[in-house]
């Protein structure tokens, strides 16, 4: 192995470690309702699901991807957050479903910025977007902004339609994406998940036997709360 090859390998390993460190850092932050996991095949691509808990988008279940720039974290470019389905929101492009982040984060600053900050910002623009939208200059959906300002009832109705659609698709299986870390859900099955649920109710601290591995997590119908840390 040449010296250049060794340097490249070391750089790649270090970069992977830094990405893993960012992921582990999320565990200590309060980002309730947002669940992310790096792709099994590509650590620069993270899969996420946002269970919205309050505000106009309450009860929405929105899937998204978070993509890191090629030279992360030594890159001034910021991550990209893109939803998998259209969301009616002034700060989300109605053509690409990409979230406007550049005004809040003009560039990535190593040792100052962290991925959890972007996820907290995502919470903010869903829970308290009025205050931010009133002062921000970069709007990606002018129609949504205009309707929000002129007819709030109709604006909320369009939001409600997005929420209903997202809930109706919670159990959809992936079509093109076959990455083993892609987050999918299945309806609650008492035979598969019943023991785990009862153990959680009893607050048993010892290790419990997990359900058969299927690559799926479960969500109880009518509740839409995932079996995951942070609820």
Can you give the CATH number for the domain in which 139 is found?
A: 3.10.110.10
- Label residue 35 exposed, middle or buried (CB < 10 Å: 0-12, 13-18, 19+): buried
206 falls within a domain: no
Q: Which residues contact 22 (CB under 8 A, 6 or more apart)?
A: 73, 114, 115, 116
- In the chain (231 residues long), the average pLDDT of successive 10-residue segments reads 62 85 88 92 94 94 95 92 95 96 94 93 91 90 96 96 94 79 85 77 54 43 40 36
Domain limits for position 164: 3-180
Model pLDDT, residue 207: 47
10 falls within a domain: yes
Give CA 225 to chain center in angstroms. Answer: 15
**Count of domains forming the chain:** 1
The pTM of the full predicted model, rounded to 2 decimals, is 0.81
46 falls within a domain: yes
* CB count in 10 Å sphere of residue 34: 22
- Label residue 117 exposed, middle or buried (CB < 10 Å: 0-12, 13-18, 19+): middle
**CB 174, CB 183: distance < 8 Å:** no
32 falls within a domain: yes
Give CA 26 to chain center in angstroms. Answer: 12
CA distance 144 to 91: 9
Q: Which residues contact 192 (CB under 8 A, 6 or more apart)?
A: 211, 212, 218
210 falls within a domain: no
CA distance 1 to 18: 24
CA distance 132 to 95: 22
165 falls within a domain: yes
87 falls within a domain: yes
Model pLDDT, residue 231: 36
Give, for 126, the enclosing helix (H) or strand (E).
helix 115-127
Model pLDDT, residue 77: 95
Query: 62: which strand partners?
Result: 50
51 falls within a domain: yes
Q: Which residues contact 93 (CB under 8 A, 6 or more apart)?
A: 100, 140, 141
């Amino acid at each position: 192995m040449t010296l250049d090859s060794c340097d490249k390998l070391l750089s790649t390993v270090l970069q992977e470690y830094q990405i893993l460190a960012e992921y582990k850092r999320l565990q200590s932050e309060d980002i309730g309702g947002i669940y992310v996991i790096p792709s099994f095949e590509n650590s620069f691509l993270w899969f996420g699901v946002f269970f919205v808990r309050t505000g106009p988008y309450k009860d929405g279940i929105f899937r998204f991807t978070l993509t890191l720039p090629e030279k992360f974290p030594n890159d001034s470019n910021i991550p990209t957050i893109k939803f998998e389905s259209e969301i009616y929101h002034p700060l989300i492009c109605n053509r690409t479903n990409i979230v406007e982040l550049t005004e809040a984060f003009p560039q990535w600053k190593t040792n100052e910025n962290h991925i959890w900050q972007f996820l907290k910002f995502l919470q903010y623009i869903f829970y308290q977007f009025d205050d931010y939208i009133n002062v921000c200059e970069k709007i990606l959906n002018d129609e949504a902004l205009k309707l929000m300002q002129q007819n709030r009832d109709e604006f909320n109705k369009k939001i409600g339609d997005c929420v209903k659609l997202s809930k109706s698709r919670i159990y959809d299986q992936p079509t093109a994406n076959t990455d083993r870390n892609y987050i999918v859900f299945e309806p609650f099955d008492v035979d598969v998940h019943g023991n785990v649920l009862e153990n959680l109710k009893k607050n048993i601290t010892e290790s419990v036997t997990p359900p058969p591995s299927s690559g799926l997590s479960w969500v109880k119908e009518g509740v839409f709360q995932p079996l995951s840390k942070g609820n």
